[in-house]
Amino acid sequence: ESRASLEIGRGADCSVKISGPKLAVDKAREALAEILHLDAKCTRMVKVPAEIADVVVGRDKLRKLETAHGVNLVRMDRKEDSDVVGVKVRGDDADVAETVAKINEAVERERRVEEVLQVETQHVGMLLGKQGSTINAIQRETGASLDMRKKSDEGSSTQPVVVRGNRASVEKALAALEAVLQYKASCRETMPIEPAMMPLLIGKGGEEINRIRTTTGAAIDAGREGEKPVFKLRGTEAAVAAAQQAISEAIEANRRVGDSEVLPWDCIDVLVGTDGAGIRQLEAEHNVQLELPGCNLASDMPCSGTFLTIATSIGVRGRKKHVDAAIGAIRRISQQHMRELLELSDEDARLLASLCLDSEQLLSELSERSAVDIDFQPLQNTVIFRGEAALEARGEILQLLAQERPVEQPLECQPTHIELLMLADGEA
């Protein structure tokens, strides 16, 4: 616009040489002074710690500050022996003051801080999590770094955890640590546990107790009061109450009980399996003891005992949670192999046989559609259905027979109507 030429210095030369007619040079100089705030009323220098300079006064951050506050910002080169980076701010007094305040706020926000949290030795494993999953998740989610230090004293009952990062990330990390450790919990309770139950409630590798911790949000420690094992619970009142309930339910689920289930005679062959393989598989999968009528676990031949009466149930023994799961499996087997018998009259049996002759795929298509085995025995006038949808398949057969069964229905007509129906040869 000024028709002047500009030559920008390189390296340490920070000058701009303006060449051209005097009027053009003056105009170019005014434009540059306005853009660069060379004639600014106020100039201030802000010092930013070198370790966070790129975060606070990186190129993009400087441009945003210039646009937002109408100032000129120049980031100075860092001196070799200096731990700060200078930023020159030029502009009107108010704009410069506001920009400097923003930079100082960012410095304070991003300044690296360090906090030390003393963690009780018994809680170190809980804080680390399986293969470091808990502590790694806290670092990932908060942006802070957590350093688990060794005990300063061999006799110490605590271990220091150093938390580093900017103020915001450190505060988030400390809050996350408190959520796990619950050292500032408002509610604390002690729950006595039967010695035999303690290993079951902790579970393999702490799996069961960690599940309860996760689902309830309470911190739970295993300890002793005198000779009795106890669980020490910390957290909010709601979390502690939920943990007590969950532990009570787990105790109940791990008690040894005996129960029974209606014996599914329709599919006893499937349940028992070849040489008792089905029974042994159920016992292995659910860690229970199954007792069929006339036999028990010590019997090598299921159902080899003497039956004094017709038995109606199968016994299931073991821990309650395993017993419940095994009974559920038996019910599913019974449902999947449900047997339904349909007894037909002679007429319906002949009709169904006729329909099967007319359409050879009739029963096979129904069987495939409903996932039910269908066995039609015309000489015995019966149809046997086996499968989870046996009742539905039985209903389809009955509906089909009702639709195809021959019927007679008289229709009352006037003489004139009959005459209309008669043909010349006297046939209708």
CB 146 within 8 A of CB 138: yes
Facing residues of 256 across strands? 319
In this predicted structure, what is the pLDDT of residue 152? 63
Can you tell me the distance from the alpha carbon of 216 to that of 237, in angstroms, rounded to the nearest whole number? 11
Three-point CA angle 416, 422, 428, nearest 5°: 130
What pLDDT shows up at residue 329? 92
Indicate the residue type of 20. Answer: G
Rounded to the nearest 10°, the torsion over CA 89, 90, 94, 100 is: 0
Of 270, 276, 275, nearest to 291 by C-alpha is 276
pTM of structure: 0.53
Q: Which amino acid is at 390?
A: A
What is the pLDDT at residue 27? 76
pLDDT at 350: 93
CB within 8 A of 263, min separation 6: which ones? 292, 293, 311, 312, 313, 314
Which structural domains are found in the chain, ordered by start? 5-110 (3.30.1370.10), 112-181 (3.30.1370.10), 188-253 (3.30.1370.10), 256-336 (3.30.1370.10), 339-404 (3.30.1370)
Phi, psi of 388, rounded to the nearest 5 degrees: -65, -30
CA 139/CA 161 separation, integer angstroms: 12
Q: Token pair for residue 206?
A: 């702490």
Tokens standing for residue 302:
């299921």
How confident is the model at residue 303, as a pLDDT?
A: 46
Q: What is the mean pLDDT of each run of 10 residues along the chain (428 residues)?
A: 72 72 75 66 88 89 90 84 88 90 90 90 86 92 90 77 92 93 92 93 89 92 88 94 95 91 80 88 92 58 44 85 93 84 93 92 92 92 90 92 87 79 57
Q: How does 190-224 read in b/e, with b if 16+ C-beta sit within 10 Å?
A: ebebeeeeeebbbeeeeebbbebbeebebbbbbee
Contact 313, 260 (CB under 8 A): yes
- Spatial neighbors of 257 by CB under 8 A, at least 6 apart, are 317, 318, 319, 320, 323
Query: Residue 152 and residue 135: Cα distance in Å, rounded?
Result: 21
Answer for the pair 383, 344: CB distance below 8 angstroms, yes or no: yes
Closest CA to 251 of 172, 315, 334, 195: 195
**What strand order describes the sheet that includes 339-343?**
339-343, 382-386, 373-377
329-356 burial code (b ≥16 CB/10 A, e <16):
bbeebbeebbebebebeeebbebbeeee
Is the C-alpha dihedral spanning 218, 219, 224, 229 positive or negative?
positive
Residue 246 confidence (pLDDT)? 96
Q: CA 329, 331, 334 angle in degrees (round to 5)? A: 115
- Tokens linked to 417: 């109507």
Q: Which two tokens stand for residue 348?
A: 């319906």
